[in-house]
């Protein structure tokens, strides 16, 4: 038996579906040019794939056909030689299958292997969110704007070929730069893309991550029901009704917090979160009423607090809010916890408002991403800007 | 006095919510479902459950709102809910209502009005389940509501054409080609008028949109209060299949109404009442926005040329200028006579 290599792409469901497919397909076709055998396939964090949900795509490459077939017999590679994270907010963890709870992004990465993250931030900043692990690994950042598009229209901003360039540097046993260049020239027929891949290859310099380095937090876990404690037939427990809760400062009880699904929390399905200016809130109810995820708690003083275990970051609340700058969607990379904003506001108003201003401002450099199609011609404009940023490095 | 042999039972009298601030806090469809970011179909489930209240049984035909809301031994439903087959939305509602009546008559259950709602997607309601819904709508005895949540595609199986997919749309079954650009050339099925014109027993038919949540909830409450077989059709923008930034989900729902593509109305015991902007459009007080404002914000129409947009516009114009009941009934007026 020859050697089998596996590459895992962690991406945002639907938003990056085509991008992930292009990359794994590219790996296999480039490896084939060098006489290897490969297969690319997708597997969703949840099936069917939904917008924003962490999802995975794989490429397996082998020296000979028999080894490839042995690899194909596995539902998904248990260990991978390289992991690519296409959206840096996924560094907080991905739920690779519904029963698993959150897993660190390097969960399947072999010791000493490379984790590639597409991000505008640098590696030390990303390590604040990437969980600790006992084995060492390498972390390399591919500087670039997170590339999001949608089901039908693809944003061709060279992210796919740039990732291929970085893979050629980190894992030349699977694809060499020559093979990547040949694949782009022959299949994609785009000289500029060859340059993009080559530049990414030249610039890609991963850093060593020592054992124990990174985010000390435990990932979100819950108790899995076994078959012995499942109910008869196919019935499951419904949701109880929520109720009022206590203001931490005045100790007054009021408002309303709904009961929520304990087995699925949206921590890793979110790419941005709403931050609320409670001082300018007019209590109009619109964010609460129009939230498809019922994620707003009605606070005892009748404002609305986005509960971050339930918010998936769609941005509808910001869109419907009639007060300017009352609700602002901010990139998830700016936050390290999921605590209540309203409690922080109640405890110290001035400090909260200062934090609010600072957070929105500090997110600006990483806010260059967009979350899908809004108008025609948008992707062309954004691709040009993204290419410029990629060139600067 | 004639005997009709129809055995009607009282309903819960659900008064309309008088303003957004009067909407109750209680959630019967709560957080933690696995739908897409900005899923308006999940939003209508939430509004529907809120409007109907605790004394309600919900039946759900296969679709996104089955798969995403009851995944992996957990659920977000706070009222009794049961999955039913794709085409069984109508029959499951009828069967449940009939069973409740028998159990109450036998004294097994307390005799009280209980809302029975079956929801189905456009695949379950406008395609596969249409005959069962049609049969259900002819039964005068039972109080039930069929809610059709329409995202204009089979969303759960990665976007195929359904009977309510709009003209020209890009789906997995109608990828625009280089030679033939428009691979779906059928016009959207006009489901609510189909139900209302064909089923005189049906006491209430309405169209709603999640971008008008208060009206949507009050129409649901009205349908449940009127009783008998009732039907509501809701348009839900779908960020995945329509291919748009979830941020504009709400705006697209409004645009569908303001361009005249999605008229909002209700028919109560045969009397038609147009709502909001739709009523203003019909009475000339609001000029319909061009359909391009709606189409060009969605990736599923990204292949449309000016010619395609003009054709789409002409079909919508026809709805408002030539139909016997503008926006609702597609019989054409005899312009000569």
Q: B40 touching A, CB under 8 A?
A: yes
B240 CB neighbours in chain A (<8 A) are 14, 50-51, 150-151
Q: Where are the alpha helices (DSSP H) in chain B?
A: 40-52, 64-67, 89-105, 122, 130-137, 191-198, 213-226, 249-258, 276-282, 292-295, 306-321
Q: Rounded to an integer, what distance in angstroms lies between the CA atom of residue A166 and that of residue A116?
A: 8
Q: Region A317-322: what's the mean pLDDT?
A: 96
Residue in chain B nearest A46 by alpha carbon: B34
At residue A233, the pLDDT reads 78
CATH superfamily of A4-209: Pyruvate-ferredoxin oxidoreductase, PFOR, domain III (3.40.920.10)
User: Does the pLDDT of residue B273 top 90, yes or no?
Assistant: yes
At residue B275, the pLDDT reads 96
Among candidates B30, B43, B170 on the partner chain, residue whose Cβ is nearest the Cβ of A259: B30
- Mean pLDDT, chain B, whole residue set: 95
Q: A284 touching B, CB under 8 A?
A: yes
Q: Region A236-263: what's the mean pLDDT?
A: 94
Question: For residues B184-216, b (16+ Cβ closer than 10 Å) or e, as one string?
Answer: beeebbbbbbbbbbebeebbbbbbbbbbbbbbb
Q: How many domains does chain B have?
A: 1
Q: Provide the pLDDT confidence category of residue A156 given band limits of 50, 70 and 90.
A: very high
Nearest residue to A308 (alpha-carbon basis) of A276, A352, A281: A276
Q: Region A205-230: what's the mean pLDDT?
A: 86
At residue A389, the pLDDT reads 86
Structure tokens at A319: 């869109």
What is the torsional sign of CA B45, B49, B52, B56? positive
Q: What percentage of residues in chain A have a pLDDT greater than 90?
A: 77
B298 CB neighbours in chain A (<8 A) are 373
Residue in chain B nearest A224 by alpha carbon: B73
- Residue B321 belongs to domain spanning: 20-332
At residue B122, the pLDDT reads 96
Among candidates A151, A255, A285 on the partner chain, residue whose Cβ is nearest the Cβ of B159: A151
Q: Provide the pLDDT confidence category of residue A98 given band limits of 50, 70 and 90.
A: low
Q: Provide the pLDDT confidence category of residue B139 given band limits of 50, 70 and 90.
A: very high
- Percentage helix, strand, coil for chain B under 3-state DSSP, each rounded to 5: 35, 15, 50
Q: Provide the pLDDT confidence category of residue A179 given band limits of 50, 70 and 90.
A: very high
B327 within a domain of the structure (yes/no): yes
Concatenated DSSP letters for B148-164? EEE-SSBTTTT-B--TT
Kindly report, residue by residue over B86-114, the tens digit of the pLDDT: 999 999 999 999 999 999 999 999 999 99
**So where are chain A's domains?**
4-209, 241-366
At residue A369, the pLDDT reads 75
User: Does the pLDDT of residue A150 top 90, yes or no?
Assistant: yes
Q: How far does the CA of residue A63 sit from the closest CA of chain B (Å)?
A: 34
Contact A139, A133 (CB under 8 A): no
**Cβ–Cβ below 8 Å for A152 and B170:** yes
User: Does the pLDDT of residue A67 top 70, yes or no?
Assistant: yes
B26 CB neighbours in chain A (<8 A) are 241-242, 256, 258
User: Does the pLDDT of residue A362 top 60, yes or no?
Assistant: yes
Q: A297 touching B, CB under 8 A?
A: no
Q: Rounded to an integer, what distance in angstroms lies between the CA atom of residue A282 and that of residue B269?
A: 40
ipTM above 0.85 for this complex? yes
At residue B334, the pLDDT reads 67
For tokens 């020239």, the residue is: A185
Helix (H, G, I), strand (E, B) or coil at A5: strand
Q: Rounded to an integer, what distance in angstroms lies between the CA atom of residue B151 and that of residue B337?
A: 39
At residue A99, the pLDDT reads 63
User: Does the pLDDT of residue A44 top 70, yes or no?
Assistant: no
Kindly report, residue by residue over B295-328, the tens digit of the pLDDT: 999 999 999 999 999 999 999 999 999 999 999 9
Q: B323 touching A, CB under 8 A?
A: no
- What CATH code is carried by the domain that includes residue B231? 3.40.50.970
Range of lowest pLDDT (B69-73, B103-107, B332-336): B332-336
User: Does the pLDDT of residue A101 top 80, yes or no?
Assistant: no
Structure tokens at A335: 């936050």
User: Does the pLDDT of residue A366 top 80, yes or no?
Assistant: no
A53 CB neighbours in chain B (<8 A) are 34, 36
Q: How far does the CA of residue A313 sit from the closest CA of chain B (Å)?
A: 7
Single pTM value for the model: 0.95
Tell me which of 3.40.50, 1.20.120, 2.60.120, 3.30.70 is the CATH number of domain A241-366.
3.30.70
Dihedral, CA of residue B270, residue B208, residue B33 and residue A227, to nearest 10: 10
**Cβ–Cβ below 8 Å for B29 and A294:** yes
Q: Provide the pLDDT confidence category of residue A218 given band limits of 50, 70 and 90.
A: confident
User: Does the pLDDT of residue B337 top 70, yes or no?
Assistant: no
User: Does the pLDDT of residue A289 top 90, yes or no?
Assistant: yes
User: Does the pLDDT of residue A47 top 70, yes or no?
Assistant: no
B74 CB neighbours in chain A (<8 A) are 236, 261-264
- Mean pLDDT, chain A, whole residue set: 92
Q: How far does the CA of residue B221 sit from the closest CA of chain A (Å)?
A: 17
Q: Provide the pLDDT confidence category of residue A97 given band limits of 50, 70 and 90.
A: low
Among candidates B210, B213, B243 on the partner chain, residue whose Cβ is nearest the Cβ of A153: B243
Spatial neighbors of B157 by CB under 8 A, at least 6 apart, are A48
Q: B94 touching A, CB under 8 A?
A: no
Helix (H, G, I), strand (E, B) or coil at A163: helix
B337 within a domain of the structure (yes/no): no
Q: B5 touching A, CB under 8 A?
A: no
Residue in chain B nearest A97 by alpha carbon: B72
Interface mutation vs chain B, best among A224, A271, A294, most B CBs within 10 Å: A294
Q: Provide the pLDDT confidence category of residue A299 given band limits of 50, 70 and 90.
A: very high
Kindly report, residue by residue over B158-213, the tens digit of the pLDDT: 899 999 999 999 999 999 999 999 999 999 999 999 999 999 999 999 999 999 99
Q: A289 touching B, CB under 8 A?
A: yes
Q: A293 touching B, CB under 8 A?
A: yes
What is the torsional sign of CA B45, B46, B52, B57? positive
Q: Region A271-283: what's the mean pLDDT?
A: 96
Q: How far does the CA of residue B311 sit from the closest CA of chain A (Å)?
A: 19
Residue A49: burial class (beta carbons within 10 Å; 0-12, 13-18, 19+): buried
Q: Rounded to an integer, what distance in angstroms lies between the CA atom of residue A150 and that of residue A169?
A: 29
**Cβ–Cβ below 8 Å for B72 and A98:** yes
Q: Provide the pLDDT confidence category of residue A211 given band limits of 50, 70 and 90.
A: very high
B78 within a domain of the structure (yes/no): yes
Residue in chain B nearest A242 by alpha carbon: B26
- Higher pLDDT: B160 or A76? It is B160
B78 CB neighbours in chain A (<8 A) are 238-241, 259
Q: A166 touching B, CB under 8 A?
A: no
Q: B36 touching A, CB under 8 A?
A: yes
At residue B1, the pLDDT reads 62
A151 CB neighbours in chain B (<8 A) are 159, 240-241, 243, 299-300
Q: A323 touching B, CB under 8 A?
A: no
Among candidates B30, B214, B245 on the partner chain, residue whose Cβ is nearest the Cβ of A373: B245
**Cβ–Cβ below 8 Å for B76 and A307:** no
Structure tokens at A343: 């409690």
Residue in chain A nearest B22 by alpha carbon: A285
- Higher pLDDT: B124 or A49? It is B124
**Cβ–Cβ below 8 Å for A314 and B239:** yes
**Cβ–Cβ below 8 Å for B243 and A372:** yes
Residue in chain B nearest A292 by alpha carbon: B43
Q: A281 touching B, CB under 8 A?
A: no
Q: Rounded to an integer, what distance in angstroms lies between the CA atom of residue B74 and that of residue A335?
A: 28
B278 within a domain of the structure (yes/no): yes
**Cβ–Cβ below 8 Å for B246 and A316:** yes
Range of lowest pLDDT (A101-105, A309-313, B265-269): A101-105
Contact B51, B218 (CB under 8 A): yes
Residue in chain A nearest B27 by alpha carbon: A258
């Amino acid at each position: 038996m020859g050697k089998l290599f596996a590459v895992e792409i962690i991406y945002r469901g639907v938003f990056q579906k085509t991008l992930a497919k292009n990359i794994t397909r590219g790996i296999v076709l480039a490896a084939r040019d060098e006489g290897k055998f490969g297969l690319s396939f997708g597997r969703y964090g949840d099936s069917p794939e939904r917008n924003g949900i962490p999802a995975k795509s794989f490429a397996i490459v082998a020296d000979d056909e028999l080894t490839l077939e042995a690899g194909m017999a596995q539902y998904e590679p248990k260990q991978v030689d390289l992991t690519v994270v296409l959206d840096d907010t996924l560094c907080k963890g991905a739920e690779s299958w519904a029963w698993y709870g959150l897993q660190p992004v390097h969960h399947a990465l072999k010791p000493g292997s490379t984790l590639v993250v597409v991000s505008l931030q640098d590696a030390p900043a990303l390590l604040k969110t990437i969980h600790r692990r006992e084995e060492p690994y390498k972390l390399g950042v591919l500087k670039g704007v997170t590339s999001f598009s949608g089901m039908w229209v693809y944003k061709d901003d060279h992210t796919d070929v740039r990732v291929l360039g970085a893979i050629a540097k980190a894992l030349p046993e699977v694809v060499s730069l020559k093979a990547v260049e040949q694949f782009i020239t022959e299949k994609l027929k785009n000289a500029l893309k060859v340059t993009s891949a080559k530049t990414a290859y030249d610039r890609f310099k991963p850093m060593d991550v020592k054992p124990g380095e990174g985010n000390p937090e435990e990932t979100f876990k819950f108790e899995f029901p076994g078959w012995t404690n499942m109910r008869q037939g196919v019935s499951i427990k419904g949701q109880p009704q929520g109720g009022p809760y206590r203001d931490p400062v005045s100790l007054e009880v009021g408002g309303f917090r709904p009961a929520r699904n304990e087995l699925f929390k949206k921590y890793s399905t979110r790419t941005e979160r709403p931050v609320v200016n409670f001082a300018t809130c007019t209590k109009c109810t619109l964010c609460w009423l129009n939230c498809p995820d019922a994620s707003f708690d009605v606070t005892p003083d009748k404002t609305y607090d986005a509960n971050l275990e339930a918010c998936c970051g769609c941005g509808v609340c910001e869109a419907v809010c009639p007060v300017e700058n009352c609700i602002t969607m901010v990139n998830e990379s700016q936050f390290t916890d999921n605590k209540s904003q309203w409690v922080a506001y109640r405890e110290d108003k001035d400090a909260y408002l200062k934090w609010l201003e600072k957070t929105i401002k500090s997110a600006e450099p990483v806010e260059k991403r967009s979350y899908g199609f809004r108008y025609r011609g948008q992707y062309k404009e954004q691709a040009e800007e993204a290419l410029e940023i990629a060139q600067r490095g | 006095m004639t005997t009709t042999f129809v055995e009607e039972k009282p309903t819960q009298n659900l008064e309309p919510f008088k303003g957004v601030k009067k909407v109750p806090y209680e959630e019967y469809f709560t957080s933690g479902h696995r739908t897409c970011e900005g899923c308006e179909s999940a939003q209508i489930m939430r509004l529907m459950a809120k409007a109907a209240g605790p004394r309600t049984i919900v039946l759900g035909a296969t679709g996104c709102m089955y798969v995403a809301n009851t995944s992996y031994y957990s659920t977000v439903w706070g009222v009794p809910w049961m999955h039913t087959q794709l085409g069984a939305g109508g029959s499951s509602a009828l069967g449940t209502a009939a069973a409740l009546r028998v159990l109450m008559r036998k004294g097994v259950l307390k005799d009280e009005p209980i809302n029975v709602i079956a929801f189905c997607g456009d695949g379950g309601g406008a395609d596969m389940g249409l005959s069962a819904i049609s049969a259900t709508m002819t039964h005068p005895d039972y109080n039930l509501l069929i809610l059709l949540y329409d995202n204009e595609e089979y969303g759960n199986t990665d976007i195929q054409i359904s009977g309510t997919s709009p003209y020209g749309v890009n789906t997995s079954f109608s990828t625009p080609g280089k030679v033939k650009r428009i691979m779906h050339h059928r016009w959207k099925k006009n489901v609510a008028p189909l139900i209302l014109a064909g089923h005189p027993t049906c006491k209430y038919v309405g169209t709603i949109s999640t971008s008008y949540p208060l009206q949507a909830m009050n129409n649901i409450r009205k349908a449940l209060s009127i009783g008998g077989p009732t039907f509501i059709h809701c348009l839900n923008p779908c960020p995945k299949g329509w291919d748009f930034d979830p941020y504009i989900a709400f705006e697209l729902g409004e645009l569908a109404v303001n361009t005249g593509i999605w008229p909002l109305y209700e028919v109560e015991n045969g009397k038609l009442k147009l709502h909001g902007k739709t009523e203003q459009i019909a009475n000339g007080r609001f000029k319909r926005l061009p359909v391009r404002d709606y189409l060009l914000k969605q990736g599923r129409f990204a292949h449309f040329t000016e010619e395609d947009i003009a054709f789409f516009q002409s079909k919508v114009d026809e709805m408002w200028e030539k139909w016997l009941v503008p926006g609702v009934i597609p019989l054409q007026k005899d312009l000569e006579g």
